[in-house]
Structure 1
Amino acid sequence: SEAAFAEPEIMYTTALVVEEGNPFGVETLDDVQEAMDNGEDITLSVLTAGIEANYATEMGLDYQGVGSADEGLEMVQGGRADVFAMTAISLNQMAEDAQGVEVTEGFVQEIDGIKQYGAGSTVFRLDDTDTLNEYNGHLAELKESGELLDILSEFGFTEAEVPPAEMSAEALCAGDLEALQDIEN
């Protein structure tokens, strides 16, 4: 290991940008899959380099890859895509002043029954264990008191992006998503 990670500070969820009124009624990629399976003419767009492209591939969804978030938003605005999937916090900021579209609530995608949690954290040098432990202690206090949400909400984050106390850096760094399946988010 090259670095030490603090406990997670934020959680990344996925959301969908859809035409205003959400004509297909989709709230998750599972809904998009169901619409496609039912033969509906629904077009999904994702960032080629985004995690949602991996989700779509794993789910067997047809999609149009785009090179930028702006391009994905413009695809929906221009009627060239019905849905653009990306990180919820980013989409909420982007679509705030965008015309003719809305953003669904953020969600954690499941692939083969496993919730695909993603999180952000502060990184420390391996030798800085005292600082890391002190940081994690204060972070736990902020989470427990609700103050972390107060701080994050100033930057557009919601309760959906605050990781539950049970979500650990150890499980995330090990890629052990199965260990996180029972947490409430």
Structure 2
Amino acid sequence: MVARPWDFSYFLNLHECSGVRRMRRSYGMAALALALAMTAVLGWIFLPTGEDALVRAREGRTLRVGYALEAPFVILSPQVVANDPELREAGVGGEAPTVLRAVLGRLGFNRVEWLRSDFGSLIHELESGRIDIIAAGMYITPAREVRVLFSRPTAHVRTGMLQLEGMDPPAKNLADLRSYPDRRLGVLAGAVELTLAGEAGLSPERVLAYPDAASALQALQNGRVEAMALSSVSLRYLEWMYPEGHFVLVDEAMPEAAPGRPALVFRKSDRRLRDAVDGVLAEYLGSAEHLAAVAEFGFTAADIPERAP
């Protein structure tokens, strides 16, 4: 039952004694005060504080990093957990966390809390103040730049397409997939491939969005979709991880499209934190240390942006 903060019934009952009217007015004022107090408390709990994340980090307080699983940008790796004491609780690895961890270490920011989410919810959680940084291989796009700040790109990758062996014939790219009206495409909700599928001419009912790469891969294996579009480096990693899957990989499913530029993501109000991270990235990206760190996730020098001059 919904509680009514106001009760105007005393205006309608003109024959009630004045004592009852005073009592009801007192209850009404008490209810109003309680409602205002609850509003203040809820606002304090759920609204962003506006506090500078860079200041908090410099004071030794925790930075909250949001991620979504999309190998090899983000993985949960038993090997990573075993080899890195800082990750034994969260077990978060992959290209984006590895790069962010190296950068934060150089800045002296060692207190990090990793918070998992669906890919499509990450920007909302950043804006709401639940997290401070997104490390998820999220591409820089004009639509996203309206809402958030990006670091310099940490990689350059193409969109690929994965199909099962036995598809006769396999589609050559997303545009070719359009010519097979009974074939459906799986993508990640909120990912750039959803837009690319539309640009290739696939109708919305033929494109199914999934919360993460594992769900999309399962849909492909179970026949709910006939193809899966994701970054080519992600699909190469999945093909390597599941050799029994009998997949056919198309490295460039949208050859005319510009390469995707994954980056770290920050709130609009945290420009100072973004700039501090960018300053370190300028030296770190493309270094021997960086290339060695991301090689285990399938990234090569060809996938890395040129070093800043």
The TM-score, its normalising length taken from structure 1, stands at 0.61
Aligned letter for 1:77? Q
1:155 corresponds to? 297
Does 1:87 pair with 2:231? yes
**Distance in structure 2 (CA, Å) of the matches to 1:83 and 1:61:** 12
Among 28, 31, 36, the alignment partner of 2:173 is 28
Alignment of 1:61-76 (within 5 A): 61-62=202-203, 63-68=206-211, 69-76=213-220
Structure with the bigger RCO (C-alpha within 8 Å, sep 6+) is 1
Query: What amino acid sits opposite 1:158 in the alignment?
Result: T
Structure 1 CA distance, aligned partners of 2:278 and 2:218?
44
Distance 1:126 1:48 in 2: 27
Equivalenced residue count is: 157
Cα distance per residue 1:84-122 (max 9 Å; x no partner): 112334333444226433252543735xx5525332247
Aligned to 1:16: 161
Shift of 1:82: 2.0
Q: TM-score, normalised by structure 2?
A: 0.40
- Secondary structure (helix, strand or coil) at the match of 1:10 reads coil
Partner of 1:107: 252
The one of 262, 277, 280 aligned to 1:135? 280
In 2: Cα distance, 1:72 partner to 1:128 partner: 34
**Consecutive unaligned residues in structure 1, runs of 5 or more:** 167-185
The answer as to whether partners of 1:10 and 1:121 remain within 8 angstroms in 2 is no
The share of aligned pairs that are identical, in percent, is: 24
Among 188, 194, 199, the residue aligned to 1:58: 199
**Structure 2 partner of 1:176:** none
The question of whether the paired residues in 1 share the 8 Å contact of 2:162 and 2:229 is answered with: yes
Structure number with bigger Rg? 2
Q: Give the structure 1 partner of residue 90 of structure 2.
A: none
Alignment match, 2:260:
117
Q: How far apart are residue 27 of structure 1 and its match?
A: 4.5
What is the one-letter code of the residue matched to 2:299? F
Give the Cα separation in 2 of the matches to 1:2 and 1:85.
Answer: 25
CA RMSD in angstroms comes to: 3.7
> Structure 2 vs 1, CA of residues 147 and 109 (structure 1 numbering), >3 Å: closer, same or farther?
farther
How far apart, CA to CA, are the structure 2 residues paired with 1:164 and 1:27?
30
Q: Where does the alignment leave 5 or more consecutive residues of structure 2 unmatched? A: 1-145
Deviations 1:112-165 (A, max 9, x none): x552533224769534698456414413xx52x655333211223234532245
Instruction: Work out the CA distance in 1 between the residues paired with 2:187 and 2:175.
Output: 15
Q: Secondary structure of 2:217's match? A: helix
CA separation of 1:86 and 1:136: change in aligned 2, threshold 3 A: closer
Distance in 2 separating the partners of 1:108 and 1:159: 21
User: Cα gap change, 1:151/1:45 in structure 2, threshold over 3 Å: closer, same or farther?
Assistant: same
Secondary structure of residue in 1 paired with 2:202: coil
Tell me if the contact between 2:161 and 2:252 (Cα under 8 Å) persists in the aligned partners: no
Amino acid at match of 1:92: R
